[in-house]
Amino acid sequence: MSEQPKVRTTEGVVQGRRRQGHAVFRGIPYAQPPVGALRFAAPAPPHRWEGTRQAVEFGPVAPLSLPIDVPPQGGDWLTLNVGTPDPGAAGLPVLVWIPVGGYLSAASSDPMYDPAALAEAGVVVVTINCRVGAEGFAFLDDVPPNRGFLDQIAALEWVQHNIAAFGGDPGRVTVGGVSAGAGSVAALLTMKSARGLFRRAIAHSVPGLYSTPALARQVTAAFADRLGATAPTAEALRDIDPWRLAAELTSFNAGLHAHRESWGRLTEAGTALCPVVDGEVLPETPWPALTGARASGTELLVGHTRDEFRYFSVVSGRYGTFTEEDAHAALKLHAPQPDGARAYRAAFPQAGPEELVETVYSDALFRMPSQKLAEANTAAGGTSHLFELCWTAPALGGILGACHSLDVPLAFGTLNSPVGTQLIGEEPTPDAIALSRELREAWVRFVTTGDAGWPAHRPGEHLTRVLDTESKTLPYPEHASRQIWEGHSPAPFDLP
């Protein structure tokens, strides 16, 4: 067997391993561990090393603020992984994937993001770890805000400096993500410090999770008080164990409903500490920045699933239980003001409480932010290829519908990953395999050429690729919701 692959990066030599016809390098630091004096600080450049560094194991994940059992890991959170068809190649397209969920987790080691199928198609795939939860997004008085975004920028800078050594083209970098990862992509489109670091963007299920400084300051102060900290500062929190901090945030998030009168829409988001429109790191939200020509458009592949909210209603045990009171509350909190609630009832006159709740949550949390990002990017001079996934997940008797995150294992070709089997089943059907191939080929074509394979979104046409057993390009399917949201961009959470 041939010698294991080695690559010289700007910090030193890394040795990976060959796997399924491609080379993988894991756990490469793109910044120093953000612990000790560097905790809550902006990412610092990585240290150099002598000799050869083994790059065969994933780096530790940042502390997760999710109700799942993950053992505490080391503090070297700011690492990335590279899967490449051939380190000796040149000019290959590059996909940098940001695996952030809810701004609460970021695990590049998730088998759902296995690069094998994309590498086989000729794409260099980079997956990154970055700070999330309180480490990445607590709005502290004495350190930079949105540190998770700063980590992502540091990773993209590393890619610019190093990816050619892995066979990639630094001029053909696509940044991508789903859910909060897609929100990260949308934010990067507006950030001056990210300009020139990527050429294209993929955003699946873009959320509108941003806070104003006034709200973020109040929420962070309440969280710090819960911890017994003297102030909402890095100095006051620095000695608290990171995994304890993550666990406390999990509990804090679980009790958000108690603050509905004080914190409004944020209490329905599931995460108290989300990105802050601070005016410096993140100057403004993506939609007005793009439509107002304060950010430049790019080549964008963006879309959402038909039944975005279904996954959350099923997992929480609420599916099938929503009442008229729930529908009233959902419309009051999430329909665009002042007439959105009336408009939803007029547009969906036959809808019961269950359908109204699912529609308004799907729209407000993911569908409208995604669709409006396509419009805004087009208005800014970019090209936007829009899709909606309408294929029903076979698992659980089809109850999940075309739910949130179903598109990701399809695109990566990781149908047998834990998430893939949870949604698609132990034995992927021929329809699942065919749709996975179609979406993956669209990704490969897009990162290579900037064309996803169907007409770009244009004002007045709103053409959309509807992904299903038989995919078609049609006018935007959620036309009624789009009309309700006409003239309304997703607004940052604010004090009521």
Catalytic residue ranges: 179, 308, 404
Whether the ω angle into residue 338 lies within 30 degrees of 0, i.e. cis, is yes
Cβ contacts of 397-402, under 8 Å, gap ≥ 24: 399/310, 399/314, 399/319, 400/307, 400/310, 400/311, 400/314, 401/306, 401/307, 401/310, 402/305, 402/306, 402/307, 402/310
Backbone angles phi, psi at 44, to 5 degrees: -105, 145
* C-alpha–C-alpha distance, residues 320 and 327, integer Å: 13
- Residue pair 462/496 in contact by the 8 Å Cβ criterion: no
* C-alpha–C-alpha distance, residues 361 and 357, integer Å: 6
Give the sign of the dihedral formed by CA 255, CA 266, CA 152, CA 453. Answer: positive
53 DSSP β-pair partners: 14
Which residue in 209, 204, 153, 155 sits closest to 182, CA to CA? 204
Q: Please name the residues in contact with 14: beta carbons below 8 A apart, sequence gap of 6 or more.
A: 6, 7, 25, 28, 52, 53, 54, 55
User: Packing angle between helix 147-162 and helix 180-188, nearest 10 degrees?
Assistant: 70
Report which secondary-structure segment, H or E, holds 152. helix 147-162
- CA 188 from chain centre, in angstroms, equals 11
Pairing of strands 100-101, 105-106: antiparallel
Tokens 């993956």 identify what position? 440
